[in-house]
Amino acid sequence: MEPLSADAPVIIVGGGPAGMVSGLLLARAGVKVAVLEKHADFLRDFRGDTVHPSTLELFNEIGLLQKLLEEPHAKLDMMTLNLLGQRYTIATLKHLPVAAPFVAMMPQWDFLDFVAEQAKLYPTFELRMSTEAAGLTYDSSGRVNGVALANGERVPARLVIAADGRRSVLRTAAELPLEDLGAPMDVLWFRVPVPAGTDMSDVALGTIGRSGMIVAIPRGDYWQCARVIEKGQLAAIEARGIAAFRADVAALVPGLAASIDAVRSFEDIKLLSVALDRLTCWSRPGLLAIGDAAHAMSPIGGVGINLAVQDAVATANILAAPLAAGENPDPLLARVQARRSKPTARMQALQRFAHQRVIEPMLRGDITRVPLAVRLLDAVPLLRRIPGHVLGLGFGRQHVESPLAKEYS
């Protein structure tokens, strides 16, 4: 292997939660790091809004929780579901032993802007927007030693971290092996304005009926809505026309009926193709994949952001000090997968269970009665702590162990 360049930074491709948080933590430890984000900003409506207690506690550990919570957000400490016309309480987070025992419903662009602002306080951090990665570069031994950009530029790197999402260009270029677990659904995202004088809590966060499922995320003056559909069925829905789509939504969630006409055409609707997969090997010499690039999560439970952040923390815990000391990170890369693969697999197993027991029957129109588990959770408040703990803190929870460079403290 050729000598590693002491001047080359760690290059993180992808400015989502995994990329930005790992960039912040590495820069905080004095590591020279550059995050490459292909878009000009972080504004993407299909990005999730749920910042779970596990993530909030990580920011508490580095002294940034109160600043983060100054960003616009709503607090969600009870999970309710409207199922077959009746609302059920299925989880509580209030008991969790953390500083912020709630989900912060925060637009992801605000979360990412906040992380970027904090990271830029460190002189070893660089964020390059409108910078699209097209592939990898290699040294004569076959080790990854940089990123090839879409504009033809080559950016040298001590280490490349692929955090470029579920359709990762870098994991494909590196030929990392992918296991597809399958997903029965896709999601259609659209906005519905909140009529003046409306109490947003009148519309449940999640609604499941015989005709489908709608998630309605409150964002102040509008709901960011997601309609769950059978995978590959968008063309059939479009063929029925936008009026039929609006009628279906209004029938399922009457609280949206007054302003659903704001969805004027299918141009107002965005398709999220749902994937549930994971790499069986997250790294090769010079390259590490994390977040959705390593494991695409279903929207079930809204846990994708938080698994990505947990990956970022594990990455910094394992690599920050050696990188700051100028060591070769390659022997340590497999440790990130070893720490994070089992928690990921456990959460994906729960999501597959939900797909099989809830989503697939719903898509077939086979949900005719409320499951016993839902009725028990609603009837016995103490039981709600179990799903609350899983959703709020997940599995294999990480704590920030990466160092803070002395000159920044």
Residue ending a domain, choose from 272, 301, 324: 272
Q: What percent of the chain has pLDDT over 70?
A: 96
Residue 174: give its domain's CATH number.
Answer: 3.50.50.60
Helical residues (DSSP H) of 29-121, grouped into ranges: 53-61, 65-68, 108-119
Same domain, 167 and 38: yes
Instruction: Name the nearest CA neighbour of 200 among 218, 213, 214.
Output: 218
pLDDT tens, position by position, 303-356:
889 999 999 999 999 999 999 999 999 999 999 999 999 999 999 999 999 998
Residue ending a domain, choose from 272, 304, 329: 272
Same domain, 159 and 197: no
Residue ending a domain, choose from 272, 306, 341: 272
H/E run at residue 378: helix 372-379
Same domain, 72 and 212: no
Same domain, 25 and 171: yes
- Res 173: pLDDT: 96
Same domain, 138 and 46: yes
283 domain residue, yes or no: yes
Read off the pLDDT band of 220 (50, 70, 90).
Answer: confident
Same domain, 230 and 354: no
Read off the pLDDT band of 49 (50, 70, 90).
Answer: confident
Same domain, 70 and 139: yes
Q: What is the mean pLDDT of the chain?
A: 92
Strands of 283-284's sheet in order across: 125-128, 33-36, 10-13, 159-162, 287-289, 283-284
- The range of the structural domain enclosing residue 202 comes to 185-272
- Res 84: pLDDT: 86
369 domain residue, yes or no: no
111 domain residue, yes or no: yes
85 domain residue, yes or no: no
Long-range contacts made by residues 147-152, C-beta under 8 angstroms, separation at least 24? Answer: 147/11, 147/13, 147/36, 149/36, 150/38
Structural contact between residues 118 and 26, judged by C-beta atoms closer than 8 angstroms: no
Residue 211: give its domain's CATH number.
Answer: 3.30.70
- Res 223: pLDDT: 87
Same domain, 215 and 155: no
95 domain residue, yes or no: no
Global pTM reads 0.92
Residue 397, token pair as written in the block: 């929870």
pLDDT tens, position by position, 138-177:
999 999 999 999 999 999 999 999 999 989 999 999 999 9
What's the rounded mean pLDDT across residues 61-79?
Answer: 93
Q: How many domains does the chain have?
A: 2
- Res 352: pLDDT: 93
Structural contact between residues 312 and 22, judged by C-beta atoms closer than 8 angstroms: yes
- What separation in angstroms does the CA of 298 have from each of 145, 278, 335? 32, 12, 25
Same domain, 235 and 261: yes
Beta-bridge partners for 272: 187
Helix (H/G/I), strand (E/B), else coil: 277: strand
58 domain residue, yes or no: yes
Same domain, 171 and 313: yes
290 domain residue, yes or no: yes
380 domain residue, yes or no: no
Read off the pLDDT band of 74 (50, 70, 90).
Answer: confident
Rg (CA), the chain: 22
